Chain A
Amino acid sequence: MAEYTLKTPLSEEDVRKLKVGDKVTLEGIIFGIRDANLIRMFDGKVPAPTDLTGAACIHTAPNVRKVGEGKYEPVCIGTTTSSRMDRFTPGLMEQYGVRAIIGKAGMMEASMEAMKKHGGCYLAIVGGAAAWETERILEIEDVWWEDLMPEAIWKFRTKNFGPLIVAMDSYGNNLYFDVKAKAAAKLDDIYKKIGAE
């Protein structure tokens, strides 16, 4: 298992060298996206308000303090469950050139396929560890679609953002699917043990 420090925006080469189990620390800009803004982008067909080529996008809606017009300070920034956003990954990668999704609990077939096809990856962060995460965000540089607050699109400048675990790579591997398959395979034995066969 290799360890990498990668600067955003990411290239296809950056992503293609990653394999599940590797550790990645990111430096640079990370964009915050999630349910409401993705629904607007893809179901509402409103184009993304900023260039996402090579972007690392994190599934989040932060706690912020407003300090001026369109200006916010981080209060607490953490990561939400990714599976709800599965169907938006193909569009993010194909239409906008996003390279990495940072999230928790993983994504499914639609995302796996898009990562394979376009050269993308899923980087697992520890859910609930938002104090840890917030310490790694230096500044909120920009925000779009504030009417969706807190589900606006956020531009975070980060430092030492990791280690994140490569949980889905660009070769069709998915750590969550492996763990889930093993759990399902154990069920019959467990049923037997507790008199529920």
Chain B
Amino acid sequence: MSAQAPLVNIRNLVKHFGSVAAVDDVSLQVGEGEFLTFLGSSGSGKTTTLFIVAGFEDPTAGDVEIDGRSVLSVKPNERNIGMVFQRYTLFPHMTVAQNVGFPLMVRRRSKAEIDKAVKEMLDLVQLGAYAGRKPSELSGGQQQRVALARALVYKPRILLMDEPLAALDKRLREDIQQEIRRIHRELGVTILYVTHDQEEALRMSDRIAVFSHGKIAQIGSGADLYERPADAFVAGFIGNSNFLQGSVVQSQQDQVAVRLDDGTVIRGNTRHPLAANARVRLMIRPERLALAPSNDQVDQSLDVTLSDTTYLGDMLQHEVVTAWQQRITVRTNDRAAASSAGNALKLHFASTDVMVFEDGNRATA
């Protein structure tokens, strides 16, 4: 994000529903033109945060600023924000063109101006030929594209999207994801996007805010979250991961040595200083693991037994079992490592690919 003032500034936002804190002290800044995704499971507070920005919910505490001014007292129809909902929200009694023109009609624009803008927007979402149709004559994907056109026709600076593709099948979803990306590039509109699909978040966003229990667990680029997760929850939520238990032997700045339950000592990285003997979890991505014959001399390794191999086309996925019967997933395209089930192997990995977390977040992972 650039040094200039953020377009959207969410400060210490809290929202209680009865005694439940749906949003619990959320702060984040969104830069002009940024594509920021709120990623989390249902009930994590991501949608509630979005609805507070839209103006449909009032926060219990905290503030939402747009362009440096608090918008909490501004009614949702006066915030000039675009929004696409999870469910199909086209006005059923209006044609596609009337739907897209609606925001301009309530703004009392001239008919000529509305017609021109509607045509532009329908061309943008590639539905120019459907102007005269009723929503019930469109597929789900087409309806969401019309909803997108309707949300953009009045040129809002901020577009909110609440799981707009959740109801669509996978192929269609990927098509429209690309289309949303293209429109984001062409218009430069700032997008706040809510999803529970980590793949969708990684594919589309400049930055991702991972929500958990009403708080932001971590905010950063996809690479940040994947390579340098803040805690075991984020590590488990983004991408595939293997977790091992152990306790700290010694810790020096971000370097840490951990003794596993069978006595093996493994070196890894940590973001926070760890006390000696603290219980920790080690996380290694399946594709950062390699297999070697058991008699190989390698720097850092673990003795395992191969239990199963799955052919995935571009990759092989091996299931291996440690001496204490924990299953570990290995993904590799090294065909030479192929071996038959039951064989003893060595699992090796670089200490930079081992991430060590305090064992406090087990319940949430």
Q: Do A and B come from one complex?
A: no
- Residues on A lying within 8 angstroms of B by beta carbon are none
